[in-house]
Every structure is written in structure tokens, then in C-alpha cells.
Amino acid sequence: MKTLEKIEVDALVVGSGIAGLQSALDLADQGYTVAIVEKNPSIGGKMISLSKVFPTLDCASCITTPRMASVSHHPRIQALTYSTVDGIKREGKTFTASVTRKPRYIDEKECISCKRCEEVCPVYLPDEYEQGMGAKKTISIPFTNAIPQYPVMHPEHCIRCGACARACPKDCLEFLQEPAPVEIKAKAVILATGYETTPMTAKKQYGMGALPNVISPMAAERLLAPHGPYGRVLRPSDGMVPGSIAYVQCAGSRDKSIGIPYCSRVCCMYAIKQAILLSGSLPIADITIYYMDIRAFGKGYEQFYNNARAMGINFVKAKVARITEDDKHNPIVRIEKQEGTSAPEEVKHELVVLSQGLVPACDGTKFNLGVGNNDFGFVQLSDETSSSAVTAGTGVFAAGTVKGPRDIPDSVVDAGAAAMEAAAYIRRL
Amino acid sequence: MTQKKILIITTNHSSYPGADAVGQARMAYGANTYIIRVPDPVMFPEDFYLRAYEKGIAGIIIMSSGSDCPYEGAYERLSKRVARVYEQMRAKGIASNRLKLTTICTVCRAAFLKEISEMEKAVTAV
Amino acid sequence: MDEKVKEEASKDNYRQEPKVGVYVCHCGGNISDIIDVKAVAAALAKYPGVTVAREYAFMCSSNGQDLITEDIKTLGVNRTVVAACSPSLHELTFRGVLQRAGVNPYLHEHVNIREQASWVHKLDKAGATAKAIKLAQAGVEKVLRKDALNAIRVAAEQRVAVIGGGAAGMKAALAAAGKGLEAVILEKTPRLGGKLPELGKMYPSGEEGAAVAKKLEDLVLAEKKITVHTGAEIDFVSGFVGNFKINFKKPDGSSAQVKAGAIVMATGYEHYKPYKGEFGYGEDGTVLTLPAFTALMKKLPAGRLEYGGREIKSLTLIHCVGSRQVEGVHKPQADGKINDYCSRVCCTAALHAANQLKEKYPGVRVYDVYRDIRAYGMKHEEYYDKASKDGVLFMRHNELDQPVVVSDRTGHTVKVKDVLTWGEELEFKTDLLVLVTGMTPADISLIKSQLKLPSGADRFLQEVHPKLRPVELANSGIFVAGAAQYPMDSTEVMASAGTAAAKAAILLAEPDIPLEPFVAVVDEHKCTGCGLCPPECSYDGALMMGEHNGKKVAVVNPALCKGCGACVAVCPTRAINVAGWTLEQFDAMVDAIAKE
């Protein structure tokens, strides 16, 4: 067992997506010390894997990487990546978090991020960063702009050939590395654990994830990313360039049958954005968005929607009852139109994106700090008309999508307010 | 073929972001355009412009902030100076349509493109 | 890391032999799909003064930044040119890289080959590449002529002035005070609360707006660090980051001044006011706006809905009045523009009002005429559901088929081309028409013109960037909170105001603020003391004639100089320049661009 590493800071931020990063920076820039704990091997959350972001169409990486760099260079922020928060205890005015650093099986102090281990490793795995569309090595740096740039080894897939150890110029492979415990003492906690998308299997009428050319929006983001798995937009089943692409809106939101009656707020806009990007990379493709209501409610969003319509993207008011496929894996979408005709129609497309909704990634109540959830598992505010971040747990604040779906601009603003509430709380102690 | 180069003088406050907005909207214009940015074009003396023509610049568009200008009195001074530049251009036989003083805001995308296409026409005659 | 020490260490870089590092960013294809970045780097590597030229996928990434740091360490690079996206995004990022590596951060030149090259020259790859090379070469010429600059530190008032005493203003002041800063609220009306007290029952908490206003006001009044001036009529705002001065008249007519290091604009919104005749508004007493109707509903007794002396048996809500306007369909606003934005909160507000109406007056028939229902918040769909269950009849029209209202003594006849019944033209009678009006920014033209604050096409205050700097205005030290920026609901206002206060607290974290050093500088050897420049200066005390070493010379006060350069143009000997933006640099850039 390794010796216990102890860290003492003003604030603990759980999660390092855009909300976690921003609240950490807004606290540290005011002079407070911050520890961030992130379960993934890199900071950056979901945003770093997106292609471009609405409504400005900036590349997501260009907006996220400078913040990731600021966090990693900040003299008052420590980021613990590939680490889990196992529990948080309140003792008087102090929180004590038990954290486990998961083994990467390399010596982080020695690693020079040269990727030679990755080059020689003979075992390929589906790359979850590329939504399973690409492959990665069993020992690999998680993605191009990951921070930190350390490889992670997955022992369950390792064939123990030793090639990586022989290739490493610094002799830093540690096959016997064990999880390392860390204790973090902090005066305040910010929960910024973010969201997951509703699973592909959520709605059985939509193919249960078994139709190869019915994909998730996160997969579409990777297809559209300039540094994505194929470097261009191809459909998964046969690598064909799709000529007809459809978006199914509210596939995982506003749907009581799957237990998610709320609107996920971002899906209209990300679908419109992806449609705009698709029409840029596939100028001759037909792009259709099947929707109930277009919810372009943010600053500049309505104009963004209008631009998409002017570009020829086809918006059809229709409910999608069912998706099947033909023998060439072309998705067949059965729609009930709201305008024009009442008879259900079946429309063949070559690629379909399910505009999945957002669900909580982590249960904020599990640390038993007095935090309450709403009916859908998101963290509940204690008084929403006086604060956007104060929870029922004293000293525990919430930032970003842990409180419910919201887009990036809203999350960034929200995170600053969470930092401010935490700062005021720490000052009052 | 010699390129007819257009120099575009923009301001930090409005026309430079305006030029960015044209890019963000993925609108298109010719690659013979060279944008430089300054706090305010009021800083350039008359001879800066004449020197640029001598060096081979075909056309110059001054995209000022106009009424959005953050500096007091700068626009009035600039427009008076440009009038004097026109006089000196006339004396040297440089066509006056090779210099344009205009106002471009942070979202004036169409106006930005219009100014460039007009200057394109002016410089083809050079 | 002690930044002041690094600053000192970096002061003398410019005395070393200049070694320029040029870095061309691919921007993950954004640039490199159009511009041949390898060719740009190769051309620059051969350019005089350049020590190294590289290209990389993401210069802004940690790896990209490390490339520069490494070249500074091993090759002695002491000036950099980064050809990438707009400097508005990453100029500060790269200045930071230089600073951390011990090089003066102002020995960096940012060349924009994305927004102003690859994105606008898609069909001319060769032209875009040639242009990028020229721009980068001009950048090298500029950076070769740059001097190391050091931030001018300005003592800052440790106080935040909050303009507006509504929900956003009160929250911003509370958050700033919570951090230990003094806050002063300037509210033009006689009371705090802004629009809150008029709002009636608010979604989703169900609290009365007046109760929320009272709650926030009690917190404000209990906070010793907050000073409140109600009935304050602002007549002059001046100054700059760290040292703003706001002159205002008190209700008794006396004048007062607030000095502040930062300003939070919490000036709020106005309800859209329909023009006379818009769906009969202003011509018929039974056409109301939603805010007027909710205020009315609060006052009326339950059971039987009576208005204007008669019973209201049916009521029609028309959405998007003053919002999502369409060119050619809607009448332009006073400034000639249409309100093409969505006002965000009105759909939910209308549904919430319909719920309350049906609770209080179950017998009233309610029609709801809409384009899209934008009930985006966590509980908002429940209001929509409840309205449907309560029997509210929804009709949906396309933007080009606006509903038509004809009014006479018997009531209103509404015609809607309803897409829910497959485009059938429906016609029905209704007693009361409620226009679901949007939001417009409050009139702050005086402050806007005095401080030169930017606004967007929608007339709301415009942030620098929605994700990078979402509550900062382009004017340093001025932040925006709440609906002065864009329509938002009460919880969103709390977030926005909290963040605005956070940015003010970061700015005022130290007693002196480092300012950008771009002010006029006089070369005393070249200055002949001719006296032509001071009359060009618009800022009192910024530029005067004085004496130095027994010689008559122009003297600049860097704390007052704005760096516009009006003085620069008139100097016959080119003795005066704006630091970082010298004429010599621009002449050299023009030479590089003009060269065949």
C-alpha cells in the first residue's frame, strides 16, 4: 500500500468539464487554492471532444484548450486526473475527500510523452474518445490535445509482451503499479460532474443501438471534427459518404415513455450546428431535421437557425414513430408529419443521428453532504431565485449540467457564479 | 501576374472584429486583401498613405469606427487628414478612388464585402 | 510563481539580438485545409531575422505552447509570431507563454490567418497561402521593431459600482460584497427590485415576484458593504478601469459622485411595447400584453373573469409579439431593424399564466397561438402538459402566415392558418386578446455613449465572446449582468450577476491593476519642442509641453493617455509614437506586403 498523499486547499472541484475548469479558474484567479478531481485521464470533459460549437462555430478545442492549459499552468490549481472521489466527509468546517488515483502503469514523473510505448504496442482497442469508431492501443495517450499527456495502460487487454517497456527511453513502465490513495482537505466543494447522453437503447422503437447507421450525436461530433476518426464524414456500416442524413429530435427528451419528460435544451442547437457543418463538408447531401419545436432561445440562436434554413437544411415538423433499416443498412424512418399530410410516411436516409437528451452523470447525493436531487436526478438548488449555485448542503455548490441540461455559454456563466458563491462562503468561515 | 494589392486599415475596436465576423460567417472575398489593425487610423500621417502607393499598394481602404470610435475627436481629425491626402494624391496624379474612408462596425459584414468589391473595381484600372 | 519577478527579468530582452520564432497553426484543418501551412513555415524559415519556423496542429494546445517554450529555452528565441486564429481568441494565450518562459510578453505578434484568410478564401488555396506568407512576413517585420513593454500598474478603487437595482444588480452587489468588496447600487427609480414586483407568480418556484424582490432587498439592506442610492439620475460617467467616476443627482437635486474600480451594468430590460394597431393593441381595450394581463389577474377575484365591465368567456394568447420578427413580414422598430431574436422566457411565462388562469377560472376557454413552444427549462414541460390537460387549445402557424385579428364591438375574430390541422384556416371568436410580448433592452443611451459600450444587432449589450468572456464588455473593467445582455429568467439572472461579480473580484483582487502599456511615448532626442502635438490631444492633461534636461519637449501622462495616436500623425520628426504600434512598424509591414 502506498503512503497517503495529503492535499489541503480552499476548494475541491469535482469534475473538469467546462464548468469545473471555469469555476476552478474563477476561484484561483481570486487567490484561492483549488484541487480538481477528474475521473478521466484528461481534463476537458465532454467539450474537448466536440467539433465546433454554436452559435459562433468556433472550434471547441480552440475554446477549451486554452482553459485546460491555464488550469494546468495555474500556480494555485492542482488537477488530479484518472482519479475518483470515493467519499467526502464533513468534519466541522472542513471537508475531507478520499480520492483514489487509478494506476496508469507508468511513472508520471519520468514520462516524457514521446509515445514510443504506444507505437510498439500490438493490441488495438475500440477508442471510446472516438465513440468506438476508431482504434487505440492498449497503452496510449487518450487523445491529441489531452492534458496531461501521459499514456494509460489497460491491463485487462494487455498481452504482457513487454514491447512497451523495451521501447520506453526512460524505463518508466510500472506493471505492478497500484491505486494510490489521496486525502484532500477543503473548505468548500463544487460539484461539476456534468452529464451523459441518454443511451442509444433508451427507445426501443429507434433500433436499440443495433442499426449501424443510426448514430449518436457524440459520434457525429467526432465524424465532423477536423481531427476525427476518419478525417471525413463516412457512415459506419460501409464507409460510404452519406448523401441523405436525418436528425431525429427529442430522441431521449420530452418523452415520458422513457422517464425523461424534460427538454434537454441543447439538442435543437447541436443538431442545427451539425447540419450546418455537414452541409459544409458534404455540399450535395440532403439534410433533414425532424422536430416538434425548434428551441433556439439563446443569444444569437434564432439567427443561427434562420441561417441554417437559408442554407437549405430541411426542417420537417414530424414525430418519428420508428426507425428500421433496409438490407443495405439504410435507415428507414417512419414519420407522422404535423403539416401537409396526416398519413404516416416511411422515408429512407443513409445516415440518421438520434438527438439524444442529457441525463446526470453522477448522483450528487451519494456523498451524503445534504445535497438534494430533483425528480430526475439532477442536483436541486436550495433557493433558485436568490442563487444559481447554492445547494441544500452547507458549503457544497453546484456548477453546470449537474443541475440540469444547459449549453456551453450558460455553463460557463453558471460556473463563475458557483465560484463566487464558494468564495463568499469560504470568506465567511 | 502582378497582384493588385489592397491594404485594409482596421481598428481594434470595430472593423477588425467586423472582418472576423465576415470570416465567422464564411463569406468570401479576394486574397489580394491585407488587413492591418491599429488602435485608430488617426495615427497615420499623410505621407504614410503616399508612401504605400509608391511601394506598390494598389488601393487603401480605411475602415474606421466612425461614431463607435472610442477616442474623442479622432474621427473628425481622421476625416480632415484624409481630405488632405486626397489633395496630395491629386497633385501626384494618383486616382482618388484608390483611397476610401469608410466606417465598419463589428457586425457590418455586408458593408465590409461591398467596400472590398468597390475597391477591386477601382484598382483594376490601376 | 512570482509574476512580478518574471516581469523584471524579462525587461531587458529587447537588448538582445532579435531571434524570431514563427509558428503556423493548422487549427485542426480549419486553416490547413485551405492554406498550405508547410509552405508558409518553409517560406518564413528563410525570411531574414527568423530563427525557426514551425507548423503544428493546435498551437493553442498545451503541446503547441510547449513548442514555443522549448524554442525559447534551446534556440534562444526572443520574439514570436503566431499565425493562427483571430488575436481576440488567443493573443493573450501566447503572451502568457512568453511571460512564463521569461520573455517580455509584448514581443509577440499575432497574425490572423483563419477568420481573415482560410475562412474567407476557401476557393483560392494558392492565393490564401500566398497571403498567409505575406501576412506572416509582415508580422516578422513588426515584431522585429517591437520594444519590450511593461504593464502600467494603476491603483484601483476597491469598489464596484452596480448600475441598476433589479434582480441582477442586487445579486451582483451581494456577490461582490460577499467577497469583501464595497458595492454601490445606483437605481434610477425610487425603489429596489426592478421589474420583479410586477411579475406576479414566478416559474418554477411559484414565489411572487414582489416576495423575491423583498427577499433580495432585505439581504442587500443587511449587508454593510453595500450602499444603495435609489432615485439616482446618472448624468456623467467617465474614467477607465480601476478609476471610474459616476456623477449622479440625488432625489433632492444635489449632486454626488461614486468612484469605482469596476462597473457592473445591470440595467435590465423593458417589455416589448406593441405599436398602435398591432393585433389591435392600443385601439381596443381588450387587447393586453402578457405582463399587463398577469398583473390584472393577480388583482381580480376568482370564479368569474370580468374585464372592462363584461365577462371574459374566452381568451387568446398570441406568442412571439415583438420577437422572432421576420424581414418583410413585421414592421421594423424605430431604429429600422426588426427584432429577429427569441426572447427566451415568454413561452414558459405564457404557459405558466395559462395554468394559473385555468386554476382560477376553469370555465374560460383559452386559445394559444404559437410558432414553436420553447419551454426549455427543467419543469417547463410540465406547464405545457398541464395546459394541454386543462383544455388549452393550441394552434400553430408558420412565420409567413401571421395570425390576423379583426376586432369589433362583439369581440375579436382571430384567423390562424394552423399547421396542426394540416394548414386549415381556422377562425374563432375571442373576448380578450393577450399578446405574449418579448423583451427589449432598457434605454441606457446616455451611459452607452459616454462609456462607448458595445451592443449587438439586437441592441442588447454585447459581450466580448459568449464562451471565452461571456460577461465582459470590450471596455476593460465593465461587466454586464442579467437581461441587459439578453432575455433570461430569474435563476439565469442569478448566475449571470454572480459571474459578473466574480470577474470584478478577479480584476480587483490586488490593489493595483496592470494595464496594457499602449500609450504615447516621446523620443526626447527626436522631439524638437515644436508644440504641434498637444492641440491634437482630446484628453485633458494627457499630453503637454514640458522641459527635460533643459530642453523643451512634449510630455505624456501615461495614466491619462488613451493611446489613440492623434498626436503621432502631426509630428514632423516622428518623435512620438504609440507604444507597440509605431509608424516604423507599419511602414515595414507595408513594405513586406507590397514586395513582389
Pairwise CB contact (< 8 Å): C178 & A423: yes
Partners of chain C (3+ Cβ pairs below 8 A): A, B
Whether C535 is covered by a domain: the verdict is: yes
Find the mean pLDDT for residues C531-551. Answer: 90
Give the chain B residue nearest A58 (alpha carbons): B24
Lowest mean pLDDT among A343-347, C353-357, C569-573: A343-347
Q: How far off is chain B from A299, nearest CA to CA, in Å?
A: 15
Q: In chain C, which among 502-521 make CB contacts under 8 A with chain B?
A: 518
Top pLDDT among A405 and A3 is at A405
26-85 of B, contacting C, C-beta below 8 A:
26-36, 38-40, 42-46, 48, 51-52, 55-57, 68-74, 77, 81
Same-domain status, A224 and A173: no
Spell out the SS3 assignment of C322-344. CCCCCCCCCCCCCCCCCCCCCCC
For the residues A175-189, what does the mean pLDDT come to? 97
Residues C300 and C253 in one domain: no
Name which of B22, B55, B71 is nearest C562 (Cβ-Cβ): B71
Phi, psi of A408 (to 5 degrees): -65, -50
B25 confidence band (pLDDT: 50, 70, 90) = confident
Q: How many residues does chain A have?
A: 429
Evaluate whether C108 touches C23 at the Cβ level (below 8 Å). no
Query: Which of B27, B32, B35, B40 is most worth mutating to test chain C (most C CB atoms within 10 A of its CB)?
Result: B40
CB–CB of A385 and C93 under 8 A?
no
Confidence (pTM):
0.83
Check if A57 contacts B (Cβ < 8 Å): yes
- Chain B within 8 Å of A205 (Cβ-Cβ)? no
Q: How many separate helices (H) and strands (E) can be counted in chain B?
A: 4, 4
Q: Does C29 have pLDDT greater than 90?
A: no
| Pairwise CB contact (< 8 Å): C494 & A410 | no
Contact C29 A226 (CB under 8 A): yes
Shortest Cα distance from C345 to chain A (angstroms)?
A: 8
Question: A111 and A47: one domain?
Answer: no
B6-124: which CATH architecture? 3-Layer(aba) Sandwich (3.40)
For residue C176, the model assigns a pLDDT of: 98
Average pLDDT, chain A: 94
* Distance in Å, alpha carbon of A42 to nearest chain C alpha carbon: 12
Residues A84 and A119 in one domain: no
Do residues C235 and C246 share a domain?
yes
A145 has pLDDT over 60: yes
Greater model confidence, C91 or C369: C369
Within an 8 Å CB–CB cutoff, is residue A296 touching chain C? yes
In this prediction, residues A150-154 reach a mean pLDDT of 96
What pLDDT shows up at residue C97? 95
The mean pLDDT of A292-302, rounded to a whole number, is: 97
Supply the pLDDT for residue A46.
96
If phi > 0 it is left, if psi is from -120 to 50 it is alpha, else beta; for residue C137 that is: alpha
- Domain end marker among C405, C420, C439: C439
Higher pLDDT, C10 or A232: A232
Q: What is the mean pLDDT of residues B38-50?
A: 97
Residue C30's pLDDT is 85
Q: Look at residue A2 and tell me if it is in a domain.
A: no
The confidence band for C15, taking pLDDT boundaries of 50, 70 and 90, is: low
Residues in chain C closer than 8 A to B26 (CB atoms)? 119-120, 122
Is there a contact between C506 and A342 if contact means CB atoms under 8 Å apart? no
Q: Is residue A392 part of a domain?
A: yes
pLDDT at C542: 85
The arithmetic mean of pLDDT across residues B77-86, rounded, is 96
Do C120 and B42 count as a contact with CB atoms less than 8 A apart? no
Last residue of a domain, one of C489, C513, C537: C513
Q: Any idea of the CA torsion for A232, A235, A239, A244, to the nearest 10 degrees?
A: -90
Q: Does C375 touch chain A (CB under 8 A)?
A: yes
Q: Please name the residues between 246 and 285 in chain A that touch chain B, using a CB distance below 8 Å.
A: 280
Has residue C596 been placed in a domain?
A: no
CATH of the domain at C560: 3.30.70.20
Q: Which of A62-66, B6-10, C300-304, C378-382 is predicted least confidently?
A: A62-66
Identify the CATH number of the domain in which residue A20 sits: 3.50.50.60
DSSP C425-486: EEEEEESEEEEEE-EEE---HHHHHHHT--B-TTSSB--SBTTTBTTB-SSTTEEE-GGGTS
Average pLDDT value for residue range C53-75: 93
C132 and C174, same domain (yes or no):
no
Residues C432 and C454 occupy one common structural domain: no
Q: Check whether B112 has a pLDDT greater than 70.
A: yes
Instruction: Encode pLDDT of C318-333 as tens digits.
Output: 999 999 999 999 999 9
A219, A49 contact by CB (below 8 A): no
Test the B interface: residue of C327, C593, C596 with most B CBs within 10 Å? C593
Residue C408 sits in a domain whose CATH number is: 3.50.50.60
Number of CB atoms found within 10 A of residue A27's CB: 30
Q: Which of the listed ranges A143-152, B49-58, C88-97 does the model predict with the highest average pLDDT?
A: B49-58
Q: How many domains does chain C have?
A: 4
Indicate the pairing of strand C543-548 with strand C551-556: antiparallel
Beta strand C314-321 with C432-437: parallel, antiparallel or unpaired?
parallel
Which of C123, C569, C595 faces B44 most closely, judged by CB atoms?
C569
Chain C within 8 Å of A294 (Cβ-Cβ)?
yes
Please check whether residues C90 and C108 belong to one and the same domain.
yes
Residues A303 and A350 in one domain: yes
* Residue C500 Cα, gap to closest chain A Cα (Å): 8
The C-alpha angle A166, A169, A171, rounded to 5 degrees, equals 65
Whether the per-residue pLDDT at A74 is higher than 80: the answer is: yes
Claim to verify: residue C422 and residue C279 sit in the same structural domain: yes
Does residue A389 sit at the C interface (CB-CB below 8 Å)?
yes
Record: contact C28-A317, CB cut-off 8 A: no
Identify the weakest region by mean pLDDT among A388-402, C109-123, C264-278, C528-542.
C528-542
CB contact under 8 A, A389 and C498: yes
- pLDDT on residue C24: 97
- Residue C10 · residue C99 · CB < 8 Å: yes
**For residue B69, which of B108, B11, B7 has the smallest C-alpha distance?**
B11
Q: What count of Cα atoms within 13 Å lies in the side-chain half-sphere of residue C488?
A: 28
Query: pLDDT per residue over C494-537, tens digit each?
Result: 999 999 999 999 999 989 987 779 999 999 999 999 999 999 99
* CATH number for C128: 3.40.50
Question: Between chains, do C452 and B44 touch, taking CB under 8 Å as contact?
Answer: no
Print the domain residue range for C380: 273-439
What is the four-CA torsion angle of C337, C338, C342, C345, rounded to 10 degrees?
90
Q: Check whether residue C137 and residue C22 sit in a common domain.
A: yes
Torsion sign (Cα): C486, C491, C494, C498: negative
The reply to whether C435 and C289 lie within a common domain is: yes
* Contacting residues of A for C467, CB less than 8 Å apart: 18, 53, 56, 58, 63, 408-409, 412
A148 in the same domain as A89: no
Q: Is residue A189 in a domain? A: yes
Chain B residues touching A57 at Cβ < 8 A: 24
Tell me how many residue pairs between chain B and chain C have CB atoms under 8 A apart. Answer: 133
Q: What is the pLDDT at residue C546?
A: 94
Q: Which domain holds residue A296?
A: 199-357
Q: Are residues C484 and C397 in the same domain?
A: no
Say if residue C213's pLDDT is above 70.
Answer: yes
In this structure, the answer to whether residues C137 and C121 fall within a common structural domain is yes
Which one of A326, A357, A388 terminates a domain?
A: A357
A227 interfaces chain C, CB cutoff of 8 Å: yes
* pLDDT of C3 over the 50 cut: no
C-alpha cell recorded at residue C4 = 512580478
The answer to which of A229-233, C252-256, C353-357 has the lowest mean pLDDT is A229-233
- Do A298 and A347 lie in one domain? The reply is yes
* Residue of chain C minimizing CA distance to A296: C342
Residue with cell 452559435: A55
- Over range A158-181, report the average pLDDT: 94
Is residue C481 scored above 90 in pLDDT? yes
CB pair distance less than 8 Å for A59 and C396? no
**Which own/partner contact pairs does A226-231 have at CB distance under 8 Å and 24+ positions apart?**
A226/A51, A226/A59, A226/C27, A226/C28, A226/C29, A226/C30, A226/C33, A227/A144, A227/C28, A227/C29, A227/C57, A228/A51, A228/A130, A229/A127, A229/A130, A229/A131, A229/A133, A229/A134, A230/A133, A230/A134
**Distance between CA atoms of residues C440 and C442, nearest Å:** 7
Return the percentage of chain B with pLDDT > 70, whole number: 97
Segment C443-460 shows an average pLDDT of 91
Q: Are residues A165 and A35 in the same domain?
A: no
Q: Do the Cβ atoms of B26 and A56 come within 8 Å? A: no
pLDDT > 90? residue C474: no
Mean pLDDT of all residues in A71-87: 95
The reply to whether residue B24 touches residue A280, judged by beta carbons under 8 angstroms, is: no
Residue of B nearest to A52 (CA): B24
pLDDT at C130: 97
Banded model confidence at residue B14, pLDDT cuts 50, 70, 90: confident
Place of cell 502582378: B2
Q: What tens digit of pLDDT does each residue of A89-104 get?
A: 999 999 999 999 999 9
Please tell me whether residues C125 and C60 are part of one structural domain: yes
Query: Are residue A255 and residue A138 in the same domain, yes or no?
Result: no
CA-CA distance, C118 to B3, in Å (whole number)? 18
Q: From C96, C130, C151, give the residue that closes a domain.
A: C151
- Judge whether residue B64 has pLDDT over 80: yes
* Total domains, chain A: 3
The confidence band for A2, taking pLDDT boundaries of 50, 70 and 90, is low
Q: Note whether A247 and A257 are same-domain residues.
A: yes
**Residue C590, in any domain of the structure:** no
pLDDT at position C43, please?
98
Query: Is B2's CB within 8 Å of C596's CB?
Result: yes
Please tell me whether residue C186 adopts helix, strand or coil conformation: strand
- Does the pLDDT of residue A1 top 70, yes or no? no
